[in-house]
Amino acid sequence: MAVFLQSLISGILIGGVYALIGIGLTLIFGVMRVINFGHGDILMVGMYLTYILFTFAGIDPFVSVLISFPLMFLFGGFLQKVFINRVLNAVAQNQILLTIGLGLIMSNTVMLIFTSDYKIITTSYSSSTIQVGGGVSVSWPLLVSFLITAVITAVLYWFLLKTDTGQAIRATAQDREAAQLMGINVKRMSIIAFGLGSALAGTAGALISPTYYIFPQVGSVFTLKAFVITVLGGMGSVVGATLGGVLIGITESMSAAYISSGWKDVVVFVLFLLVLLLKPSGLMGKSRT
């Protein structure tokens, strides 16, 4: 029982962070129809930002979210304005090449500056836990990052549903041309969407930093994960990405406990294939042909 509860709790907590990564990717795809293959690398930049703030300014990784979120938003907006906007109407291969290229430039630039050494942020609470009884413990930093994720996701929902800008973003996502005809500045919405997507990825990076490790190639692990989450939840669906993230987190954790950690990726991908077979547009996706 302790093993079951431990796995369930860890799965949900880590799944929350996965969700944050997935939401960023799905938001970008929804608005731009561009698959961002550099998403993991943006997350990596967020991690290094946290590392710099922690090491040189002594700012706690969780507090640094307040700084890294706006910075990563600007960074994402910049990428969109300078690079992505130019290929919005190009063929998909060109968009893919561009985002892969941007990702490579990011990871290699970081490697030049920081070398490929692993960086570990060691805070006073890095391995502290709360005992919840029955031999089950909850990682303190993981719990905090889950709570921050929940708050950010809630605010994001509110933003997308209630504010004018949020509605304009959703309109752009639903039909770019119609939105433009209605007087929505779609280029600006694209910049905001990519900025938000990057900020979410960067925040996820900041939140994982106290419990994970940082190196320039860390992005690839999360790019793949973000794809699975996004496609599982339905490309473009924020609710789907949230659901997908938590689902993947729990699946990984449970299969590691009850089958073998070596098989957990297999279980995740089998689940993924099953969902695609039974519901090709993903859990929350609407087919859009």
Binding-site member from 260, 269, 273, 286 for other proteins (CB under 8 A): 260
Q: What string of DSSP letters covers 85-107?
A: GGGTTS-HHHHHHHHHHHHHHHH
Candidates 10-18, 58-66, 90-98, 180-188 — which segment interacts with other proteins by CB under 8 A?
10-18
- Residue 129 binds other proteins (CB under 8 A): yes
For 245, counting Cβ atoms within 10 Å of its Cβ (0-12 exposed, 13-18 middle, 19+ buried), the class is: buried
| Distance, CA of 130 to chain centre | 26
CA distance 274 to 266: 12
- Residue 254 binds other proteins (CB under 8 A): yes
Give me the least distance between CB of 251 and other proteins, in Å please: 11
Token pair 């969109």 is at which residue? 80
Amino acid at 199: A
Give me the least distance between CB of 134 and other proteins, in Å please: 11
Give me the least distance between CB of 174 and other proteins, in Å please: 34
CA distance 66 to 259: 40
CA distance 222 to 197: 14
Give me the least distance between CB of 197 and other proteins, in Å please: 21
- Residue 113 binds other proteins (CB under 8 A): no
- Cα-based distances in Å from 203 to 127, 148, 243: 20, 9, 19
**Which residues 130-159 are close enough to bind other proteins by CB under 8 A?**
135, 137, 139
Taking alpha carbons only, the member of 273, 222, 212, 215 closest to residue 245 is 222
Integer-rounded Cα Rg, in Å, for the chain is 19
- Residue 109 binds other proteins (CB under 8 A): no
Q: Which two tokens stand for residue 155?
A: 């605010």
- Residue 116 binds other proteins (CB under 8 A): yes
Candidates 129-137, 191-199, 238-246, 276-284 — which segment interacts with other proteins by CB under 8 A?
129-137
- Residue 213 binds other proteins (CB under 8 A): yes
CB of 127 or CB of 163, closer to other proteins: 127
- Residue 267 binds other proteins (CB under 8 A): no
Residues that bind other proteins (CB under 8 A): 2-3, 6-7, 10-11, 14, 17, 111, 115-118, 120, 122, 126-129, 135, 137, 139, 208, 211-213, 215, 217, 221, 249, 252-254, 256-257, 260-262, 264-265
